[in-house]
Structure 1
C-alpha cells in the first residue's frame, strides 16, 4: 500500500489542530507523528531539520520531493493551494482570506497565547502578574470584538464557505475558556462557534492527536491545569 502524500507532525495545541482541521474536512489521507513536548521531541535534531524553529506543526509532502513546511498558517496555505480547497479563486476574496489568516497569526494567536501562558503556566508556578494578565486578556477581548463585527451577517470569515482563515482562527478563539476571556455579548462570534462546532469533521479533528476538553470549557480543568503547569515549570523563573 502506498503511503499518503502528507505526513503531519503535530501535538494537541491550538496551532497543532489547524492542519488536522483542514485534512479531516477535506477527507485527505495523511499519517501523523505525535510530538511529545514532555520529552522535547520538537527539539530533536531530526525534527529540527524539518522545522528549524523547533515548534509544531510541520508537514512533509512526500509527493513533492519530501518538501517540508512549517508554521501553521503557511501549512494551511500550502495545503489549500495543493488541493484547491478552502481558498477562494476570486482574487479579492483570496486576498481577504490571507488578511484574516494573518489577523489570526499576528493577533489572535499571540495575544491568546500570552493570556494562557500567564494564567495557566506562570501564575501556578509562582509568577502571578496581574498587569500582564489584564493586558493580554483585554487585547484578546478587543480582537474578539473585531471578529464579532466581521461575522455580522456572515456565516464564515470570508465569502459563504469555510476557508483556511476559519481553520486558523477557530481552535484559538474557541479556546476562550482556557484563556479566561469573556465572549459575553459577542453573539455573531458565538454563532460562528456553534456553526463550526456542528461540523462532524471538526469534532473528529479536535480528538487528533488527542482530545483536551479543558481547552474548550467542556470539562473540569483542574487536573489538566496542574499537569500543564508542571510540564512547563522549568521555563518559569522563580521569584
Structure 2
C-alpha cells in the first residue's frame, strides 16, 4: 500500500465508529486513506487486519508519519489524534479538568451510546430493529427506550450549556454524531411516544449544529457517495 497520505483508516462503509474518526481527521485537516473492510467476507477477522487490531473490530488507524504507530478503539483513536495533532486545542480540551470532562463524555459515548458489534444501547437497538433474524418486540422496545434515555441525559446537560466541554465545539460533541444519525434513521422513527425534536429540543438543536459543521458535512457526503 502506498503511503502518500499520512494515515490509513481501516473502517467499514456503514460502521458509525469509523465515521466519527473520519470526522476528526477531517476537522484537523489530516490526510488519510480509508480501507473499507467487507464484513460479509469476515475481513475484520482476517490476519491481515487482526495484526493491527487483535479484537477484530473497526476502526483501526495507522499513522505513517509516526513510525506506523497503530491504535484501535474509536475514542482512543480520537484522543490520540487531538493529543498529537490538535496542540492549539481547536477541537479539544486544554486544561487538565476539561481533559477529564472530555474523557468522561467519550467514555459515556462509547459505553452508553454506540459500540462496534452493537454492544451498548444505540447499537443493540439497531441490532434488534434491523439485523436480528427474528423480530423480538420486547427487545426492540427496551433498546428504543434506552436510546431515548441516553438522549435525555444529553438533553438535560445541553439545556444548560451549548457544548459538552469547555464552552466550545469539540471531539466530545463530534463523537456522538454518527451513532445519533443511525438512531434517528433506523431506531426512533417508529418508537412509541418518542418525538426527538419535540421531546428533547436541546439535544435536537445541538445535533443540528453538529451536522452543519463543514468537516462533518463533507465526510458524510463521502459516506453517502459510497
| Residue of structure 2 in register with 1:149 after alignment | 156
Cα shift at 1:177: 2.6
| Residue of structure 2 in register with 1:38 after alignment | 40
| Residue of structure 1 in register with 2:6 after alignment | 5
| Residue of structure 1 in register with 2:77 after alignment | 75
| Residue of structure 2 in register with 1:179 after alignment | 187
| Residue of structure 1 in register with 2:218 after alignment | 204
SS in structure 1 opposite 2:129?
helix
SS in structure 2 opposite 1:174?
helix
Indicate the larger mover: 82-91 or 42-51. 82-91
**Higher normalized contact order (CA 8 Å, seq sep 6+, divided by chain length):** 1
Q: Distance in 2 between matches of 1:105 and 1:94?
A: 16
Whether the 8 Å CA contact 2:177–2:211 is kept in 1: the answer is no
Cα shift at 1:2: 6.8
Over 3 Å counting, the alpha-carbon distance change for 1:212 and 1:155 in structure 2 is farther
Over 3 Å counting, the alpha-carbon distance change for 1:25 and 1:170 in structure 2 is same
| Residue of structure 2 in register with 1:225 after alignment | none
Q: Distance in 1 between matches of 2:38 and 2:169?
A: 30
SS in structure 1 opposite 2:175?
helix
SS in structure 2 opposite 1:7?
strand
SS in structure 1 opposite 2:92?
coil
Q: Distance in 2 between matches of 1:147 and 1:169?
A: 10
| Residue of structure 1 in register with 2:135 after alignment | 128
Cα shift at 1:24: 1.1
Whether the 8 Å CA contact 2:6–2:30 is kept in 1: the answer is no
Whether the 8 Å CA contact 2:9–2:61 is kept in 1: the answer is yes
**Aligned 1:102-113 pairs, distance under 5 A:** 102-109=107-114, 110-113=120-123
Say whether residues 1:195 and 2:209 are aligned partners: yes
Q: Distance in 2 between matches of 1:164 and 1:200?
A: 15
1:153-210: per-residue Cα shift (whole Å, max 9, x none)? Answer: 42221122222211211111232231225313100011011111211211111134x3
Over 3 Å counting, the alpha-carbon distance change for 1:189 and 1:94 in structure 2 is same
SS in structure 2 opposite 1:33?
strand
1:97-140: per-residue Cα shift (whole Å, max 9, x none)? Answer: 10011001010111000000001011xx3x22112111111111
SS in structure 1 opposite 2:176?
helix
| Residue of structure 2 in register with 1:119 after alignment | 129
Q: Distance in 2 between matches of 1:2 and 1:131?
A: 48
Q: Distance in 1 between matches of 2:185 and 2:224?
A: 15
Aligned residues: 209
1:41-74: per-residue Cα shift (whole Å, max 9, x none)? Answer: 2122110000111111110111222111111011
